[in-house]
């Protein structure tokens, strides 16, 4: 076998392996990605609802049973800025780092990397009902809301702005 033929055989095998891994590995749609990626990802996740555009919320949302899932996007380029999960009607679900049930839910929806990042995140501050966390990859906001528990994933670089906005909304009227 010539060196050139061997080289192409190795490259072909490597590319085939990579294609297989990309086909089998779940896509993770997270803040920073394009909304089309997130919409396609939710279609492949059985536990997530079908997303529809919601002009009032400037994003996409959907409900499936007790789970409400939403995605905020920038209007300029369709980049996802925030994703959220709210579970209603289940008093056992509280999005905290130590609640094994909710950490497992995060892992089931996203992956173990996101669940571990949340579990190991640092508590930054609490403003009103919102508890802010900083992980290594993302920032998180957990809150007890009327009839349920809410969890949001945001870019780490957006954390201070979200904290500032929450503080502002404590003393000023904000649309929630």
Return the pLDDT at 156: 95
Length of the chain: 176
Quick one: pLDDT band at residue 26, thresholds 50, 70, 90?
Answer: very low
Q: Which of 10-14, 130-134, 172-176 has the lowest mean pLDDT?
A: 10-14
pLDDT tens column, 72-82: 998 778 899 99
Cβ-contact 36, 43 below 8 angstroms: no
pLDDT tens column, 49-86: 999 998 887 899 999 999 999 999 987 788 999 999 99
Alpha helices in 25-158, H assignment, sequence order: 35-44, 100-109, 112-119
CA–CA separation, 119 and 97 (whole Å): 5
Residue 125 counted as domain residue:
yes
Residue 148 counted as domain residue:
yes
> Angle at which helices 112-119 and 100-109 pack, to 10 degrees?
140
> Backbone phi, then psi, for 29, in 5-degree steps?
-95, 120
Residue 4 counted as domain residue:
no
Residue 78 counted as domain residue:
yes
CA–CA separation, 23 and 20 (whole Å): 5
CA–CA separation, 63 and 2 (whole Å): 59
Which residue range is the domain that position 146 belongs to?
A: 28-171
Residue 19 counted as domain residue:
no
Return the pLDDT at 2: 54
Quick one: pLDDT band at residue 5, thresholds 50, 70, 90?
Answer: very low
> How many domains does the chain contain in total?
1
Return the pLDDT at 168: 93
Return the pLDDT at 176: 55
> CB burial class (10 A; 0-12, 13-18, 19+) of residue 96?
middle
What is the chain's mean pLDDT, rounded?
Answer: 84
Residue 6 counted as domain residue:
no
Look up residue 25 and give its DSSP letter. Answer: S
Residue 155 counted as domain residue:
yes
Which helix (DSSP H) or strand (DSSP E) does residue 134 occupy?
A: strand 130-134
Q: Which of 5-14, 67-76, 160-169 has the lowest mean pLDDT?
A: 5-14
Residue 13 counted as domain residue:
no
């Amino acid at each position: 076998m010539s060196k050139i033929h061997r080289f192409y055989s190795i490259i072909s095998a490597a590319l085939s392996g990579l294609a297989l891994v990309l086909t089998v590995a779940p896509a993770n749609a997270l803040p920073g990605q394009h909304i089309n990626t997130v919409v396609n990802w939710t279609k492949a996740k059985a536990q997530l609802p079908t997303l529809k555009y919601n002009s009032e919320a400037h994003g996409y949302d959907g409900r499936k049973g007790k789970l409400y899932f939403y995605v905020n996007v920038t209007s300029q380029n369709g980049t996802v800025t925030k994703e959220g999960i709210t579970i209603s009607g289940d008093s056992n679900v509280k999005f905290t780092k130590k609640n094994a049930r909710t950490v497992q839910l995060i892992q089931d929806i996203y992956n173990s990397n996101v669940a571990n990042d949340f579990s190991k995140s640092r508590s930054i501050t609490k403003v009103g009902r919102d508890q802010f966390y900083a992980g290594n990859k993302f920032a998180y906001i957990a809150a007890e809301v009327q009839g349920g528990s809410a969890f949001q994933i945001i870019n780490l670089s957006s954390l201070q702005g979200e904290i500032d906005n929450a503080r502002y909304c404590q003393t000023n009227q904000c649309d929630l």
